[in-house]
């Protein structure tokens, strides 16, 4: 189904890592200004020399930028499960941005082993005063993979985070995101997209703590559930006493695409300050049948109509990815995923994307 | 009636009014014109007592009283009416309840008994006719779901109910089509009496075809840079503001 | 300046805080099987009901108080409560003669117990502490086949109906408080509307706690048979006391095919004083079952009272095409705490529900909306819309929103929206520019905010509720 030549044409940048003495892993990202590091079973393992900012450890990696440092490149960290003897793996990554620094990061989770495994990952992020981070996380493993990630995010005065969490594939994905807005005038945007089918299970738990006044947060999570998959969303916006002038928005929208899919959603507001604007919304719905009929009456096959509608539904989340090339790449992955062309990925262990 | 001396006002530390001087006498109609951002709306908000604006210096006396020491409702009772550029929506509060609360409070300040329901409805019908408002508006939420023109008519209707001494109409003509403009302007003219005064704040001359001003001021960058008779409005219409600003 | 307003608003007085001085009978403090036998014996109950109580008590002993609500509940000593108190009977059972003291009490509360000075066509069942003291218009209603009486009388006169429906909607072991109620409930109202009958007047229950050291545990059972209609109102007040008193009621509603029930509550239990001392603990289980096709159940509640409210009027939408709506205004002030909302359980096809909740928090209070919308696999085409808004008056209170949305059906469409904000400065300024005083403007805007809910109440209650909102939030009656 995939023609290698197409891939080569589209994705010009394809570095690879030779993992110990076995297979090679390649990641094709269509961006020239991307610097990649491979994290194999939680250890930084790269042929390329470590660029500044990275500090490796046996158990995860730390990336940090000093004061006023701006990294122009997109830094991609590809975490790959490889050792099939290792069932349970825990590691901790750290991202530290000092005052007024800025970075663009892309974190990908992949696998080279088809075995059943559990990954427990902690990502601690600190954004100091006026630091800015664009962060895209792509989760793409297989049906026997269990991946639990805890994001601990702390933001200081004037810090800005634009985070997009795209969960394409995994047997069980659990994302806990805890944000502490600890300095005034922070801006935190989180987008999330989850596409689950088969008997996959997905859960997100977001806690947005507005601990001080004058911060803005905005969350948008969308999911499409097919077959007998299930998903849970729970999110709390907490506004501390005296955290006046808080503006917080949270929404979660879901499409159930099959009779056996199941969704539970729990958006919550816990507010102890009065001069605030907070809102949340949650919906569970189905595809608009009239729109589908309209498309079919114009000759679009019903399956195609359904995919177009689903693409339109997820578009709003992908739009939040600032980097145009990356956004297009993600869109095409999402489209492939929705077209079911992605099953390849759950069976094959390399060249995933 | 109204005397403003060297009025300075700022919002969030930024000075908007930089020394306004203005005197309005009973029976007069003043027009204040000026480009966007010159401070027209700030002036009207400061006169009505909006707390987001800080008066840093200057004096305002109204009917012999120090206006700047009065709360917004006290200014209203004293006879100041502000026709809002963007009238506020208050969901769930009907026009009837709103107007009745306002009118009765005004009456109480004058030592009068609350108005009876029958009398109130009669008065309301009478005043709604001034701006050709349909009586169905009375049971609707204050300004909720009103079109731009309906909101402005509602402002003039409220003015008719409260019979102010000084009406300040902030961009009452903005967003109105020709018919609505005529209705609103005619309403204002009908309410004109020798013992009250009007300040009309506007961008355009067209409103002044209906409400003929005695004095026209041009406000620019927080100061009144030109004051003249009604012919000034026509000149501004023709030549814009640049000739005044650069003069 | 707006601080002053908040102060004025929070200095409200409770209007129904008086006590009635009359001879009352009590049973000893405490809770055990003997006490339950004693309550049952006083009420001359049949064996089956005593069994029901004892089973509930045994169940209750195995349970613990729910801790999931956003409430800070002080420890309750269940052995330190008097579970039964009644005015001493001066006349024989069944007589409609009423003690003049009691008559005066209900007059003072504005509850009409004389059929001639009727509040436009409303029948009342008046419950004073543990007993129903009077039910009005029984004969007029009986002509249409409508049964409206105290729960005790229903047990005696209509045992089959009671047996059939008691605990059919709220099982004994549903929760800690429903189990407690099932063990010790004393009285309450019973209502049955026969097939095809439209109840010609509003039915209402009025609950009054009077005696010190007691709790009130009433039970209400409403059955609307096929194609019938009834509008039911519930009101409640209690004296002003330093102690906390427990109110743990159970309300069960059964709505059969094509029937419609409106259940409205104006809850004004004593909320405690300005420092949070005293007040009623209102831990209530209310649930309706839309059992038949096209059945409809509408809940409306105006919650202004109680020190602590734990209450979730719920509907099980079992019949196909059944409909339920929930409208709520909850006001908390001073140190009041409320955790209230609803549950809509969709089982039948094309079932529809709607939730409109307006929370208003002032003073040092905590006000939470908690609601569940659950769609089962069978609920093809289910539809829900929820809108939950919170308004904060002052910077010492809290407003919280905890919705739970669970869908197991692809064809269901569920929407939930919530907002939290303070009263709009622009609206306040607009009102004041027109000469409305700031505190009146707050009252006006808050009432406007709650209008959508208040409009659901029957006329007389709507006026009452509006006043109550004003009183709860202001220094004087509007």
Looking at the structure, tell me whether residues C103 and C68 fall in a common domain: yes
Is the CB of residue A17 less than 8 Å from the CB of residue A25? yes
By CB atoms closer than 10 A (0-12, 13-18, 19+), residue A149 is: buried
- State how many domains chain C has: 2
Q: Could you give the angle at the alpha carbon of C90 between the alpha carbons of C87 and C94, nearest 5°?
A: 90
How far is the C-alpha of A207 from the C-alpha of A157, rounded, in Å?
19
Per-position DSSP letters for C110-127, written without gaps between them: T---SSSS-SSSEEEEEE
Looking at the structure, tell me whether residues C472 and C438 fall in a common domain: yes
What does the pLDDT read at residue C95?
47
Of C423, C440, C456, the position where a domain reaches its end is: C423
> Tokens 């509006």 label which residue?
C466
Q: How far is C451 from chain A (nearest CA, A)?
A: 21
How far is the C-alpha of A187 from the C-alpha of A191, rounded, in Å?
13
Residue C17 lies in a domain: no
Residues of C with CB under 8 A from a CB of A: 70, 375, 377, 390, 392-422
Task: List chain C residues with CB under 8 Å of B141.
Answer: 448
Q: Average pLDDT for residues B140-160, to the nearest whole number?
A: 90
* Domains in chain B, CATH or no CATH each: 2-245 (3.40.50.300)
Residue A39's φ and ψ, nearest 5 degrees, are -115, 105
Is the CB of residue A318 less than 8 Å from the CB of residue A331? yes
First-last CA distance in chain C: 22
Residue A34: helix, strand or coil by DSSP?
A: strand
Q: Pseudo-torsion of CA C273, C370, C423, C418, nearest 10°?
A: 180
Task: List chain B residues with CB under 8 Å of C1.
Answer: 51
- Best residue in C353, C397, C407 to probe A by mutation, most A CBs within 10 Å? C407
Looking at the structure, tell me whether residues C342 and C406 fall in a common domain: yes
What does the pLDDT read at residue C237?
72
Radius of gyration (C-alpha) of chain C in whole angstroms: 22
How far is the C-alpha of C10 from the C-alpha of A126, rounded, in Å?
42
Query: Given pLDDT bands bounded at 50, 70 and 90, which one contains residue A250?
Result: very high
Query: B52 pLDDT exceeds 90?
Result: no
What does the pLDDT read at residue C115?
56
Query: Given pLDDT bands bounded at 50, 70 and 90, which one contains residue A246?
Result: very high
Prediction pTM value: 0.85
Looking at the structure, tell me whether residues C215 and C97 fall in a common domain: yes
Bridge partners of residue C230, in order along the sequence:
C261
B to A contact (≥3 Cβ pairs closer than 8 Å): no
Q: Is C467 on the interface with B (CB under 8 A)?
A: no
Query: Given pLDDT bands bounded at 50, 70 and 90, which one contains residue A345?
Result: very low
Is the CB of residue C238 less than 8 Å from the CB of residue C245? yes
Is the CB of residue A37 less than 8 Å from the CB of residue A78? yes
Q: Which two tokens mark B241?
A: 């503001």
B222 backbone φψ class: left, alpha, beta (φ>0; ψ -120 to 50) = left
By Cβ distance, the residue of C433, C444, C452 closest to B72 is: C433
Q: Which residues of C457-474 are buried (b: 16+ CB within 10 A; e: fewer)?
A: bbebbbebbbebbbbbbb
Q: Please state, in angstroms and as integers, the Cα–Cα distance from residue C409 to each residue in A200, C143, C197, C284, C318, following that order.
A: 17, 46, 36, 31, 15
Residue C4 lies in a domain: no
Looking at the structure, tell me whether residues C357 and C443 fall in a common domain: no
Looking at the structure, tell me whether residues C451 and C358 fall in a common domain: no
Q: Which residue has the higher pLDDT, C2 or B98?
A: B98
Listed in order, strand segments (DSSP E) in C90-228 are 122-128, 131-135, 147-150, 189-193, 202-208, 219-224
Looking at the structure, tell me whether residues C295 and C389 fall in a common domain: yes
**pLDDT per residue as tens digits for the range B101-121:** 899 999 999 999 999 888 998
Residue C18 lies in a domain: no
On the CB side of C358, how many CA atoms lie within 13 Å of its CA? 20
State the alpha helices, DSSP H only, in chain A.
4-10, 289-297, 302-318, 324-338, 343-347
Residue C348 lies in a domain: yes
Decide if A284 and C414 are in contact by the 8 Å CB cutoff: yes
Q: Is A240 on the interface with C (CB under 8 A)?
A: no
Q: How far is A43 from chain C (nearest CA, A)?
A: 40
By Cβ distance, the residue of C438, C448, C452 closest to B93 is: C448
Q: Is C67 on the interface with B (CB under 8 A)?
A: no
Decide if A242 and C409 are in contact by the 8 Å CB cutoff: no
What does the pLDDT read at residue A22?
61
Q: Which residue has the higher pLDDT, C101 or B29?
A: B29
What does the pLDDT read at residue A346?
39
Q: Is C449 on the interface with B (CB under 8 A)?
A: yes
List % helix, strand, coil for chain C (3-state, nearest 5): 25, 35, 40
Looking at the structure, tell me whether residues C306 and C437 fall in a common domain: no
Residue C359 lies in a domain: yes
**pLDDT per residue as tens digits for the range A147-183:** 999 999 999 999 999 999 999 888 999 999 999 999 9
Looking at the structure, tell me whether residues C203 and C275 fall in a common domain: yes
Query: Given pLDDT bands bounded at 50, 70 and 90, which one contains residue A51?
Result: low
By Cβ distance, the residue of C404, C412, C421 closest to A276 is: C421
Q: Average pLDDT for residues A243-272, to the nearest whole number?
A: 94
Lowest pLDDT segment from A144-148, A304-308, B41-45, C98-102: C98-102
Residue C201's φ and ψ, nearest 5 degrees, are -140, 165
How far is the C-alpha of B38 from the C-alpha of B22, rounded, in Å?
16
By CB atoms closer than 10 A (0-12, 13-18, 19+), residue A176 is: middle
Looking at the structure, tell me whether residues C77 and C102 fall in a common domain: yes
Q: Average pLDDT for residues A231-251, to the nearest whole number?
A: 95
Residues in CB range of C323: below 8 A, 6 or more apart: C290, C295, C296, C297, C317, C351, C352, C353
State the alpha helices, DSSP H only, in A3-93.
4-10
Chunked in runs of 10, what are the mean pLDDT values of chain C (478 residues)?
43 69 80 90 90 93 90 89 77 57 73 57 74 76 89 92 93 92 90 94 81 84 96 80 85 97 88 85 94 96 89 96 95 91 96 95 92 95 95 90 94 94 91 92 89 82 72 44
For residue A139, which of A198, A197, A192 has the smallest C-alpha distance? A192
Residue C271 lies in a domain: yes
How far is the C-alpha of A330 from the C-alpha of A37, rounded, in Å?
19
What does the pLDDT read at residue C2?
40
Residue C435 lies in a domain: yes
How far is the C-alpha of C109 from the C-alpha of C107, rounded, in Å?
5
Q: Which residues of C383-405 are buried (b: 16+ CB within 10 A; e: fewer)?
A: bbbbbbbbbbbbbbbbbbbbbbb
What does the pLDDT read at residue B235?
87
Listed in order, strand segments (DSSP E) in A197-242 are 201-210, 216-225, 230-239
How far is the C-alpha of C34 from the C-alpha of B16, rounded, in Å?
80
Residue in C closest to B168 by C-alpha? C433
CB atoms within 10 A of CB B152: 28
Residue in C closest to A226 by C-alpha? C410
Residue C242 lies in a domain: yes
Looking at the structure, tell me whether residues C409 and C443 fall in a common domain: no
Residue C462's domain spans which residues? 424-478
């Amino acid at each position: 189904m995939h023609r290698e030549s197409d891939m080569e044409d589209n994705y010009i940048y394809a570095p690879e890592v030779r993992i110990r003495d076995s297979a090679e892993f390649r990641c094709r990202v269509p961006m020239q200004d991307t610097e990649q590091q491979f994290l194999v079973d939680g250890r930084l393992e790269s042929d390329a020399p470590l660029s500044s900012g990275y500090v490796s450890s046996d158990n995860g990696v730390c990336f940090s930028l000093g004061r006023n440092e701006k990294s122009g490149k997109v830094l991609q960290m590809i975490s790959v499960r490889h050792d099939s003897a290792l069932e349970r793996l825990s590691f901790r990554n750290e991202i530290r941005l000092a005052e007024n620094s800025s970075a663009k990061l892309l974190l990908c989770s992949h696998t080279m082993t088809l075995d059943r495994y559990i990954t427990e990952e902690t990502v601690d992020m600190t954004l100091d005063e006026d630091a800015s981070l664009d962060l895209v996380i792509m989760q793409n493993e297989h049906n026997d993979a269990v991946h639990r990630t805890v994001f601990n995010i702390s933001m200081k005065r004037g810090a800005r985070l634009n985070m997009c969490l795209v969960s394409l594939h995994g047997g069980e994905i659990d994302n806990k995101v805890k944000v502490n807005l600890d300095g005034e005038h922070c801006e935190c945007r989180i987008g999330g997209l989850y596409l689950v089918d088969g008997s996959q299970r997905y859960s997100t738990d977001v806690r947005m703590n507005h601990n001080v006044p004058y911060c803005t947060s905005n969350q948008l999570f969308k999911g499409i559930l097919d077959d007998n998959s299930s998903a849970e969303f729970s999110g709390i916006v907490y506004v501390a006493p005296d955290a006046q002038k808080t503006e917080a928005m949270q929404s979660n929208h879901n499409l159930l695409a099959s009779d056996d899919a199941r969704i539970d959603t729990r958006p919550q507001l816990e507010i102890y300050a009065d001069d605030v604007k907070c809102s949340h919304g949650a919906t569970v719905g189905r595809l608009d049948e009239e729109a589908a009929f309209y498309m079919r009456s114009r000759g679009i096959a019903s399956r195609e109509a359904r995919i177009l509608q689903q693409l339109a539904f997820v578009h709003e989340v992908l739009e939040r990815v600032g980097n145009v090339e990356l956004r297009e790449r993600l869109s095409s992955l999402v489209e492939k995923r929705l077209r079911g062309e992605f099953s390849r990925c759950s069976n094959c262990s390399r060249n995933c994307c | 009636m109204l005397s403003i001396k060297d009025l300075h006002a700022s919002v969030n530390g930024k000075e908007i009014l930089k020394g306004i001087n203005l005197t309005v006498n009973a029976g007069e109609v003043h027009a204040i014109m000026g480009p966007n951002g010159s401070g027209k709306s700030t002036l009207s908000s400061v006169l009505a007592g909006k707390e987001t604006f800080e008066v840093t210096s200057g004096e305002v006396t109204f009917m012999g009283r120090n206006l700047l020491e009065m709360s917004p409702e006290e200014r209203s009772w004293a006879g100041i009416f502000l026709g809002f550029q963007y009238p506020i929506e208050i969901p769930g509060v009907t026009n009837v309840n709103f107007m009745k609360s306002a009118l009765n409070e005004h009456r109480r300040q004058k030592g009068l008994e609350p108005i009876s329901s029958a009398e109130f409805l009669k008065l309301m019908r009478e005043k709604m006719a001034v701006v050709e408002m349909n009586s169905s508006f009375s049971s609707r939420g204050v300004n909720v779901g009103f079109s731009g023109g309906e909101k402005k008519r509602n402002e003039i209707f409220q003015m008719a109910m409260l019979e102010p001494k000084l009406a300040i109409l902030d961009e009452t003509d903005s967003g109105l089509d020709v018919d609505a403009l005529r209705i609103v302007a005619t309403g204002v003219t009908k309410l004109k009496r020798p013992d009250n005064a009007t300040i009309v704040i506007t961008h355009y001359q067209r409103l002044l075809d209906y409400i003929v001003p005695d004095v026209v001021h041009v406000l620019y960058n927080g100061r009144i840079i030109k004051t003249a008779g009604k012919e000034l409005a026509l000149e501004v219409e023709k030549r814009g503001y640049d000739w005044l600003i650069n003069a | 300046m707006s601080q002053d307003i908040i102060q004025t608003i929070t200095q409200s007085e409770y209007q129904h805080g008086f006590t009635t001085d009359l001879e009352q009978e009590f049973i000893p403090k405490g809770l055990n099987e003997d006490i339950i036998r004693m309550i049952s014996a006083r009420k001359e109950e049949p064996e089956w009901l005593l069994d029901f109580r004892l089973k509930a008590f045994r169940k209750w002993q195995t349970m613990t108080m729910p801790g999931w609500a956003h409430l800070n509940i002080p420890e309750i000593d269940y052995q330190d409560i008097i579970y039964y108190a009644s005015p001493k009977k001066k006349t024989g059972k069944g007589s409609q003669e009423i003690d003049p003291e009691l008559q005066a009490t209900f007059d003072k509360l504005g509850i009409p117990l004389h059929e001639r000075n009727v509040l436009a066509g409303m029948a009342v069942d008046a419950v004073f502490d543990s007993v129903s003291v009077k039910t009005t218009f029984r004969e007029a209603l009986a002509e249409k086949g409508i049964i409206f009486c105290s729960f005790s009388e229903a047990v005696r006169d209509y045992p089959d109906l009671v047996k059939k429906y008691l605990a059919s909607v709220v099982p004994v072991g549903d929760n800690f408080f429903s189990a407690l109620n099932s063990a010790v409930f004393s009285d309450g109202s019973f209502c049955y509307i026969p097939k095809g009958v439209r109840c010609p007047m509003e039915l209402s229950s009025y609950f009054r706690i009077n005696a010190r050291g007691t709790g009130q545990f009433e039970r209400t059972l409403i059955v609307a048979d096929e194609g019938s209609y009834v509008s039911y109102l519930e009101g409640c007040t209690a004296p002003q006391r330093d102690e906390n008193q427990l109110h743990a009621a159970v309300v069960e509603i059964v709505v059969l095919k094509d029937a419609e029930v409106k259940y409205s509550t104006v809850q004004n239990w004593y909320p405690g004083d300005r420092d949070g001392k005293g007040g009623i603990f209102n831990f209530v289980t209310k649930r309706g079952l839309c059992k038949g096709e096209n059945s409809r159940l509408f809940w409306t509640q105006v919650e202004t009272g109680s020190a602590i409210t734990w209450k979730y009027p719920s509907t099980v939408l079992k019949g196909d095409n059944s409909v339920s709506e929930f409208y709520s205004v909850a006001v908390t002030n001073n140190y009041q705490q409320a955790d209230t909302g609803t549950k809509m359980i969709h089982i039948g096809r094309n079932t529809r529900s709607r939730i409109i909740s307006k929370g208003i928090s002032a003073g040092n209070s905590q006000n939470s909306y908690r609601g569940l919308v659950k769609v089962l696999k069978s609920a093809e085409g289910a539809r829900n819309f929820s809108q939950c808004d919170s308004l904060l008056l002052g910077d010492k209170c809290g407003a919280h929103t905890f919705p739970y949305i669970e869908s197991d059906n692809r064809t269901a469409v569920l929407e939930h929206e919530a907002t939290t904000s303070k009263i709009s400065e622009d609206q306040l300024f607009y009102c004041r520019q027109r000469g409305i005083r700031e505190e009146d403007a707050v009252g006006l805007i808050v009432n406007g905010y709650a209008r959508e809910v208040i409009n659901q109440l029957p006329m007389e209650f709507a006026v009452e509720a509006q006043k109550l909102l004003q009183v709860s939030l202001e220094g004087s009656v509007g």
